[in-house]
Chain A
């Protein structure tokens, strides 16, 4: 049975479990630091990097401002090119559409190109319940599927696994799902990749139906775009008779020319490459080349909810490059599973509450899964202001009564700051009380939650205000 994040604990509880796992922390740290280094080199190589980001953000804002028009254009162009367009309001509807389409072909085993949206809607489990075996073909997605695991990163879903763990999963599981791993498989990454090549090749050659997502859908031409590295995407998009692409409605870009911006940003920011090895584009169906049947399923599943949020809608600009999680100090320590979603890290901390609302404790905890350091703002290729959205979502959570303590504390601070005399007294008082708390690591009473995962800083004896007055104020 495919695992899911359903019923996952809130971030504080989930992260506590994850940060206790030393192996996981080491794996995540090694991987994120490697990608960060490569990305930094290739971003610095472009003197026009900031101009590319400006364009990408503005194009995506145009998409969101004219979403109805763009989607209708997509529908018109895909249909004219021989494809069939379906619309799904939510996960259940999308899963039903795909299940019915696969059933109509009579096939019981299909192949999939890695797609975060199909993870989001739980498509593999829905197909499984209908007796259809959907085999993942991206190497990382294969590792996750064979290990009965969950993705922990949007670009490298098995980033939390090291080579020893992967070898063990391959040796144990491949034989249960097709061609077994070669005898004497070692943990050399090249050998592991070769094992995946052999295991999946027979599935590609036999598959009649493939399911994909898409990185972009060009409204002007009805063209879908898939960016990948291994060639598993090309296999699925080319060899199957029926191709079903399940795509979020925000993946649209208005014009063909817009791809020159996104294709130059995406791989540089995602994996530190100038272009990913393979980018495939297709428009409907073509006689004698590739699938004879093409279906595009346009999925809402909360995206229009996010679109209605004036601050939060910028999260829909996201092109899933993963740079925000690679650079996030919180993600580096907790890994992806703590976020309880296929979208972890900073984008997960804002996207999940925006898609689902903040009225359950899991999504309500996510805007707090951040130090607000803003490193994600700096690397985002579409200039999402994560910290603005996080603060706005925290306000929404507070207004919803989720965090009465924080609301009360901020209220008290506000009241004190409005009166300079009271503020002066408060900071001076802290300096006097500080030394009386030797070895104290927890704040008392209702503020204790703040120190659950933080060390209480030493309270200086003297306030900055008084230090400034003593040292500089006199000179002035």
Chain B
């Protein structure tokens, strides 16, 4: 049988099921984080930081990226860092370790052997402590944010949405998106949460105000 036949057959079965039309879905849920005044910027940023810390991520609030990034990398014992092409130079200016730009793209083994990765993000969500990467400015390709064991992410306060609906509306579905809510984790063994399996085991966020 050809593939075309399977397609036609499935579509025929769907039509034969004669499902009656369904009404337009209601959308009466909140569009901001519960219990949070959507106009209170500071409360939103505080919630974002609190949620990230609950996941075991480290949060530094700073006026400028350079010193905060250097502090995190030193505290975490990182000696090598990969950055996407086009990352602002001042983000790494204060750090003395080895910085490699992912251009031309580093091999998987090279990324795996690198201690840390530094990126910006496309959006963030306070309610769930989520960072969203879309491969755009200061973010690079997905493999580079996956293989190093420490991910340092610089988030501008203006990028933090109160809840998911606001962030989703701003994102471009045509881009490959990664929503990161805390470091890699599992609860597959007796439902005990273990931080860090395959993705970066440590996550640090520099929140720029």
Q: Residues of A at under 8 Å CB distance from B?
A: 27, 30-31, 34-35, 45-48, 51-52, 54-55, 58-59, 61-62, 64-68, 71-72, 81, 86-89, 93, 97, 137-140, 143, 156, 158-159, 162-163, 166, 189-190, 192-193, 196-197, 200-201, 204-205, 218, 221, 223, 229-232, 234-235, 237-239, 249, 256-257, 259-261, 263-264, 271, 273-283, 286, 288-290, 298, 300, 304-305, 307-308, 313
Contacts and interface: CB of A to CB of B under 8 A. Distances in A.
Contacts of B197: 139, 193, 196-197, 229-232
B109 to A, nearest CB: 6
Contacts of B182: 277
Contacts of B184: 229-231, 277-278
A143 B190 CA distance: 12
B143 interface: yes
B19 A67 contact: yes
Contact of A156 (B16, B22, B105, B188): B188
Among B23, B25, B26, chain A packs the most CB atoms within 10 A around the CB of B25
B189 A232 contact: no
Interface of B: 1, 3, 6-7, 9-11, 13-30, 34, 51, 55, 105, 108-109, 112, 125, 127-130, 135, 141-143, 146, 163-165, 168-169, 173-192, 194, 196-200
Contact of B164 (A196, A237, A263): A263
A313 B165 contact: no
Given A87-B10, A304-B13, A30 B191 contact: yes
A229 B187 contact: yes
Contacts of B15: 68
B144 to A, nearest CB: 9
A280 B129 CA distance: 16
A230 B18 CA distance: 41
A261 B165 CA distance: 8
B168 A278 contact: no
Among A45, A81, A235, chain B packs the most CB atoms within 10 A around the CB of A235
14 contacts: A31-B190, A46-B34, A47-B34, A48-B34, A58-B23, A139-B197, A159-B191, A200-B198, A205-B112, A239-B146, A260-B164, A280-B179, A290-B143, A308-B13
- The 6 A-B residue pairs with the shortest CB-CB distance in the complex, in nearest-first order: A231-B199, A58-B25, A304-B13, A231-B198, A230-B197, A279-B179
Nearest to B195: A190
B9 A89 contact: yes
A81 B175 CA distance: 11
Contact of B26 (A54, A138, A276, A290): A54
Contacts of A65: 19-22
Contact of A274 (B9, B127, B174, B180): B127
Q: Is the interface of A mostly helix, strand, loop or mixed?
A: helix
B88 to A, nearest CB: 21
Given A45-B34, A55-B27, A68-B15, A283 B174 contact: yes
A231 B146 contact: yes
Contact of B190 (A30, A46, A221, A278): A30
B179 to A, nearest CB: 4
Given A274-B51, A280-B178, A281-B176, 8 more contacts: A68-B15, A86-B3, A139-B189, A231-B198, A273-B181, A277-B185, A278-B179, A308-B13
Q: Is the interface of B mostly helix, strand, loop or mixed?
A: loop
A68 B51 contact: no
B170 to A, nearest CB: 11
B29 A230 contact: no
Nearest to B134: A281
A158 B186 CA distance: 12
Given A192-B189, A234-B146, A51 B29 contact: yes
Among B1, B109, B112, B185, chain A packs the most CB atoms within 10 A around the CB of B185
Given A156-B187, A229-B187, A261-B29, A298 B10 contact: yes
Contacts of B105: 288
A286 B80 CA distance: 28
B190 A274 contact: no
Nearest to B183: A277
Nearest to B180: A278
Contacts of B180: 277-278
Among B23, B176, B182, B185, chain A packs the most CB atoms within 10 A around the CB of B176
A288 B186 CA distance: 30
A221 B176 CA distance: 12
Contact of B186 (A52, A58, A93, A193): A193
B20 A304 contact: no
Contact of A71 (B11, B164, B176, B199): B11
Contacts of B173: 218, 221, 223, 256, 281, 283
A259 B25 contact: no
B146 A238 contact: yes
B188 A81 contact: no
Contacts of A307: 13-14, 17, 19
Nearest to A88: B6
Contact of A300 (B10, B55, B141, B196): B10
Contacts of A230: 184-186, 197-199
B138 to A, nearest CB: 15
B29 A48 contact: yes
A63 to B, nearest CB: 8
A241 B60 CA distance: 37
B189 A67 contact: no
Contacts of A282: 176-177
B186 A89 contact: no
Contacts of B163: 264
A217 B24 CA distance: 19
B51 to A, nearest CB: 7
Contact of B142 (A143, A205, A238): A238
A89 B28 contact: no
Nearest to A162: B190
Contacts of B187: 156, 229, 271
Nearest to B165: A260
A53 B113 CA distance: 45
Contacts of B129: 274-275
Contacts of B174: 81, 221, 283
Given A55-B26, A140-B188, A274-B128, A201 B108 contact: no
